[in-house]
Structure formats: C-alpha cells, structure tokens
C-alpha cells in the first residue's frame, strides 16, 4: 500500500463523538473536518451510541474511533458504554472527560478498550494528534494482518502444488495425498468435525508427506528393504514437514497432526512415541487413512492389497497401530463407498 493510499483510507475513517456538550462536539467536528476527516458523527445519548456502534460493526462499516465522555445525562453512562463495548466489540475508544480522578483514569485504561484518556479542558490539536495516532496504528495493523494472511495463503497454495509435483516424480505415490485427504475428511466427518475442521484435515491429508521433499529420491523409490540408516532418514519426514509449515499461522492447528501421523496407538510409532489419547485426533485420523491407501496401492516394495485384505489388516491392528474407534468409523465409510460404487454400476448397466 502506498503512502497516498494509506492516507486516503485514514481520512475515510468514521469517528463517533459521544458527549452531551453540543458546543464541544461541534468544535471537535469542525476541527477534524478541517484536517481532512469528513466522517465525524455526534451522539449525546449513551444507549443510542452503543446501538450505533453495534450496528456499524454488524454492517461491516465500524467506527475507527469512539470519542467518549464519562458524564452523559441521557441513556447509559460513559463507563457503561465502554464496558459494554469492551465486552463485545473491537472498537477503539478515547475518553475525553472532565472526570480527572486518578482512580477513574486507571479504571478506564484497565478496561482493555480505552486507548487514551484526555482530561477536559484539552488542547484541540493535541487531542487530534492522539486520535489520529490511534486510528493510524490500528489501520496499519489491520493492513499488515491482511497482507500476512494473503502471503500465507499464497504460500499454502504453493506448498499444495509442490506436494503434487513431489508425487508426480514417484509413480508409486501418484494421487496418494489426494486419496488420504479424501479418506481423512470422510473419517473426520463421522467423528463430528465441523466444516472448518474438515477443510483443515483435508489440507493436512494433502500435505502429510510433504516432508519427503527433504529425503533422497533414491531412498524413497528404493525397491525392497531399507537399511537402518535409510529408514531413520525416512522417519524424519514428519519433522521436516512440520518445520516447513510452522510459519503459516493458518496451519498451526494441523501441524501437530502432520508431525504425529506415524505415531502408533500403542506408543511404538514415531517421531515421539506418543500413545492413545496423547496422539492428536487429526494425526490418528491421518494414520488410518494413510495406512489404508498405502496398503491398497502399488509401491516399490510391495504389491497392492485388495480392499478386503486391507480392511482386515486395519481391524487386526486396532489398539496397536490404530485408534479402534476411528477404524470402526472408517470401515463404515468404506461400506458406504462400496454401496455407492455398486449403485453406480447398476445404474450404468440399466442405462446401457
């Protein structure tokens, strides 16, 4: 954002002056307008001020600053106004009041929403500079948060593309992450995840093996058994993935899932030997989904199992490698998927 754009946004800020001193309100309004702030509104009733502030937030056009007197003759008191706002809304407040007692000032500043406390009578230019500083600081902070979020989402998109590129280099794992993502979402839905959690577990499925980008291809694609040294190298991939993804704040909630998706329910997995409920739920879901797809896919070191054989293996390893409840949920998912495929086959036969 250029300086010109920033100042344009700054001068579009909405300011609400809540005070029953009409002369003071008009003075402040005229001064701010002369400094390039045309959106200054006035309100003398405390209750009506809260209604306006709340409505502005609901309309996604919030006030950039509320200038508030503590001694209001109509409606809620100034203290009630800032306490109500502090409890429910993220709107900055500057108290401008003749109340000069130290306890009142400290109480207001400790409320968590009063940014400044100015005692009447005040220097108008000093008041203006304090207000502009508050608005500028919050506007800049909001811009930086939006910019960081855009950068993080761009980074996430790049990582997802890189994960697919990584798989494309290995014919044995092509589409593996997409299938793990699909299975994980299906299990998580049965486990009661909400829509946002389902989106995140699906992303975790796509990125769960991303750490293999740090493992030599000759090791990943080696036919037959790995040496102890090679196996230890492969076991590092959850740690590599979690280190790469750690800067993306949007993914913080699933980084632990990715780090621990090779933990075993009985504590014999890696990298940290966690067991049972100490393993994050998302990691336990990924473990079931990842293992099933690995068993039913061709790999350099084994032929694919049938779906039925892989189901039996999941059941056999309940309580050892896998969370028993999640295995049961996934078996239900597989049954539903099979019935859906059979319905499609019958429909095609009827139409042919």
CATH number of the domain at 187, please: 1.10.3210.10
Q: Tokens 């809620």 label which residue?
A: 76
Q: What is the CATH number of the domain that holds 14?
A: 3.40.50.2300
Q: Which H, E and C letters describe 304-343, residue by residue?
A: CCCHHHHHHHHHHCECCCECHHHHHHHHHHHHHHHHHHHH
Q: For the whole prediction, is pTM greater than 0.85?
A: no
Residue (of 214, 313, 288) closest to 279 by Cα position: 288
Is the per-residue pLDDT at 52 higher than 60? yes
How large is the average pLDDT for residues 289-303? 82
* DSSP symbol at 17: E
In a domain, 150, yes or no: no
Residue 152 counted as domain residue? no
Please tell me what DSSP assigns to residue 73: S
- Identify any residues that bridge with 45 across adjacent strands, giving them in sequence order: 74
Query: Does the pLDDT value for residue 79 go beyond 80?
Result: yes
The per-residue pLDDT for 163 is: 65
Question: What percent of the chain has pLDDT above 90?
Answer: 30
Domain count, the chain: 2
Asked whether the predicted pLDDT for residue 341 surpasses 90, the reply is no
- 314 and 191 part of one domain: yes
221 & 124 share domain: no
Higher pLDDT among residues 145 and 226, named by residue: 226
Q: What is the mean pLDDT of residues 53-71?
A: 87
Domain, as residue range, for 182: 169-351
What is the band of 7 on the pLDDT scale with cuts at 50, 70, 90? low
Domain membership of residue 322 (yes or no) is yes
Same domain for 202 and 310 = yes
d(CA 147, CA 88) in angstroms, rounded, equals: 26
DSSP 103-114: HHHHHHHHTSSE
Residues 26 and 173 in one domain: no
Report pLDDT digits (tens) over 112-171. 678 788 888 888 888 888 888 888 887 777 766 666 666 666 666 666 666 666 665 555
The predicted-structure confidence for 227-239, as pLDDT tens digits, reads as follows 888 888 888 999 9
User: Over the chain, what is the mean pLDDT?
Assistant: 84
Q: Which residue has the higher pLDDT, 158 or 85?
A: 85
Q: Is residue 157 part of a domain?
A: no
Q: Which two tokens stand for residue 79?
A: 């203290």
Alpha carbon distance 293, 315 (integer Å): 15
SS3 193: coil
Q: pLDDT value at position 273?
A: 95
pLDDT of 289 reads 96
Instruction: Please tell me the predicted confidence (pLDDT) of residue 159.
Output: 66
Indicate whether 228 and 96 sit together in one domain: no
pLDDT tens digits for range 242-270: 888 887 777 788 899 999 999 999 999 99
pLDDT for res 300:
60
103 lies in the same domain as 177: no
Q: Are residues 138 and 183 in the same domain?
A: no
- 199 and 127 share a domain? no
Q: Is residue 137 in a domain?
A: yes
pLDDT higher than threshold 80 for residue 28: yes
Task: Please indicate, yes or no, whether residues 70 and 191 belong to a single structural domain of this protein.
Answer: no
Most confident of 99-108, 125-134, 179-188, 335-344: 179-188
- CA–CA separation, 305 and 330 (whole Å): 17
Q: Is 161 inside a domain boundary?
A: no
- State yes or no: pLDDT of 317 exceeds 70: yes
Query: Does residue 208 carry a pLDDT above 70?
Result: yes
Is 212 a known active-site residue? yes
Residue 121 has what pLDDT? 86
46 inside domain: yes
Confidence of residue 310 (pLDDT cuts 50, 70, 90): very high
What 3-state class would DSSP assign to 42? strand
| Distinct helix (H) and strand (E) counts, the chain | 15, 5
Q: Is residue 68 part of a domain?
A: yes
Q: Are 272 and 260 in contact (CB under 8 A)?
A: yes
pLDDT at 165: 61
Do 239 and 336 have their domain in common? yes
Same domain, 330 and 216: yes
Q: Is 27 left (phi over 0), alpha (psi -120 to 50) or beta?
A: alpha
Question: CB of 300 within 8 A of CB of 172?
Answer: yes
pLDDT greater than 60 at residue 173: no
Q: Which 8-state DSSP code applies to residue 115?
A: E
Note the pLDDT of residue 243: 87
Q: Catalytic: which of 182, 212, 216, 228?
A: 212
């Amino acid at each position: 954002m250029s300086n010109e754009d920033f100042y344009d946004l700054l001068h579009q800020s909405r300011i609400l002056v809540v005070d029953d001193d009409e002369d003071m309100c008009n003075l402040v309004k005229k001064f701010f307008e002369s400094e390039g702030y045309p959106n200054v509104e006035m309100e003398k009733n405390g209750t009506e001020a809260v209604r306006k502030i709340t409505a502005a937030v609901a309309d996604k056009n919030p006030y950039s600053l509320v200038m508030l007197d503590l001694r209001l003759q109509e409606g809620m008191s100034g203290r009630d106004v800032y306490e109500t706002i502090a409890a429910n809304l993220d709107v900055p407040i500057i108290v401008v009041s003749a109340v000069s007692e130290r306890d009142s000032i400290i109480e207001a500043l400790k409320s968590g929403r009063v940014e400044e406390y100015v005692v009447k009578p005040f220097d108008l230019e000093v008041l203006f500079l304090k207000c502009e500083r508050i608005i500028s600081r919050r506007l800049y902070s909001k811009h930086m948060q939006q910019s960081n979020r855009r950068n993080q989402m761009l980074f996430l998109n790049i990582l997802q593309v890189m994960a697919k590129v990584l798989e494309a280099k290995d014919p044995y794992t092509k589409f593996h992450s997409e299938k793990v993502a699909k299975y994980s979402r299906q299990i998580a839905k049965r486990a009661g995840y909400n829509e946002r959690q389902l989106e995140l577990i699906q992303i975790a499925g796509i990125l769960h093996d991303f750490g293999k980008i740090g493992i030599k291809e000759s090791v990943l694609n080696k036919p037959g058994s790995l040496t102890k040294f090679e196996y230890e190298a492969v076991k590092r991939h959850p740690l590599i993935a979690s280190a790469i993804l750690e800067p993306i704040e949007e993914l913080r909630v699933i980084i632990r899932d990715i780090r621990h998706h090779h933990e075993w329910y009985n504590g014999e997995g890696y990298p940290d030997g966690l067991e049972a409920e100490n393993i994050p739920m998302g990691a336990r879901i990924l473990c079931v989904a990842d293992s099933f797809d690995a068993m039913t896919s061709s790999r350099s070191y084994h032929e694919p199992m049938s779906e039925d054989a892989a189901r039996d293996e999941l059941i056999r390893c309940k309580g050892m490698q896998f969370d028993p409840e999640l295995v049961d949920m996934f078996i239900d998912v597989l049954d539903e998927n099979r019935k859906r495929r059979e319905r499609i086959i019958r429909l095609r036969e009827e139409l042919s």
